[in-house]
Amino acid sequence: MRWGAGIAAALVVGAMVGPVARAADVFTVYMSATGSDAASGLSPSAPVRSLVRVQEVLRAAKPSTDVEIRIKQGTYEAPPMQDWRFYVPGHTVSFMPIDYTYGEGQGGIAGRPIFRNVPSEPSGFWLQPRLPLDHADPLYEGGTTGLRFYYLQVEQYSAGGMSFFGDSERDVTDETYNPPMRQRGSKGMNGNTVFGMVFTHLGSKWAPCGATCYGWGAIVLTNSSDNRIANNHFTNIENHGAYAGHIHGLYVTHFSSNNTMSGNDFTYINGDPVKIRDRSNLNTVEANTFVRTGRAGFYRDEFCDMTCVRANPGLERQCASYHNRFANNHLISDYDGDNSSEAWTLSPTGLTNAGGAPCTIPTGDQRLHTAGNTTT
């Protein structure tokens, strides 16, 4: 009885103080498509309208806790925002529907807030997080940025949806080599989550941006590691004809390692839906579904070796990636629908081709491991 009474009392106290404690531990900014950027954004009755204003609010408040951007359902006509630089070291910054509860699926929300490009605005990504410019910032040299995105929809941006740019404004050229080698510009922009999102109608086919303009990918990771990309939908990720091969669902490049990409659906992508490049190691691409996607294959591993550099003056030399895993995926059909594409391709070829000294692959390892992929 005494133990039972103690447990009951503890539960009552927990029920009373739990929400209060959580409110104190999370700094919240509210958004609405009918809000105003003149508002404070600090209550549901005073929402702001743009991510530019959200960042201004956060910079002014300087929270030292987890942050949530609670976004009311609606359509946000939003030009590309390629200068997100707010992070809280040791904490997360989460973007989500106003009614989202962690751990619940799509059924727990009234719908996904939609971010749609403004046709008259310049080309670009919906959102491109970059590293801080202030040398005194704890994350100036990179690290765990802790951005989290849940159940939003992004559409009609020419360059793509999101670009985590861990080499922003950093020196990426090692000129002690001839020709120069690509080098890692920072510790990276790491430890982010993209979950339950919809990326649709992205690329120059859907957001015309000029004859020589094209998109890169729905999600691009550049020097960005330890991310989780799961349960998202990538549909109609397409460039206009001459640049079809340049766009991807997921483009993982330049020192982007230990990323998990699972449970995603890829539909109508006229470049290879998953592409890995340049010392991006130990990534897992598993349990995804591919329908009408891919030119050469469903998975593409590519890097620019000495031959490539000679054919493309001005590019830095790169090295192979290794120990990536492409497994248990459903490979239903390629973009043309004729199923002539390979499951995976390497360029340059060779599972153990590191790219020549100083590039290396650990002894006994190889660029790609595959298992359990099905075609039905």
Give the tens place of pLDDT for each residue, 298-319.
999 999 999 999 999 989 999 9
One-letter amino acid of 157: Y
Q: What is the mean pLDDT of the chain?
A: 92
Q: What is the DSSP letter of 185?
A: -
Q: Which domains does the chain have, with CATH numbers?
A: 27-371 (2.160.20)
Residue range 193-249, pLDDT digits in tens = 999 999 999 999 999 898 899 999 999 999 999 999 999 999 999 999 889 999 999
Q: In whole angstroms, give the CA distance from residue 48 to residue 57.
A: 9
Residue range 145-186, pLDDT digits in tens = 999 999 999 999 999 999 999 999 999 999 999 999 999 999
Q: What percent of the chain has pLDDT over 90?
A: 86
> What tokens were used for 373?
């992929």
Q: pLDDT value at position 275?
A: 98
What is the band of 333 on the pLDDT scale with cuts at 50, 70, 90? very high
Q: In whole angstroms, give the CA distance from residue 364 to residue 243.
A: 37
Residue range 110-150, pLDDT digits in tens = 999 999 998 777 789 999 999 999 999 999 999 999 999 99
Q: pLDDT value at position 24?
A: 58
3-state secondary structure of 292: strand
pLDDT of residue 17 exceeding 80: no
Residue range 260-275, pLDDT digits in tens = 999 999 999 999 999 9
In this structure, how many other beta carbons lie within 10 angstroms of the beta carbon of residue 150? 21
Say what the pTM is: 0.93
Q: What is the DSSP letter of 330?
A: E
> What DSSP letter does each residue of 76-145 carry, written as one string?
EE---EEEE----TTS-EEEEETT--TT--GGGSS---EEE--TTSPP-EEEEEB--S-TTSTTTT-EE-
**Closest of 25, 81, 13 to residue 51, by C-alpha:** 81
295 close to 263: Cβ distance less than 8 angstroms: no
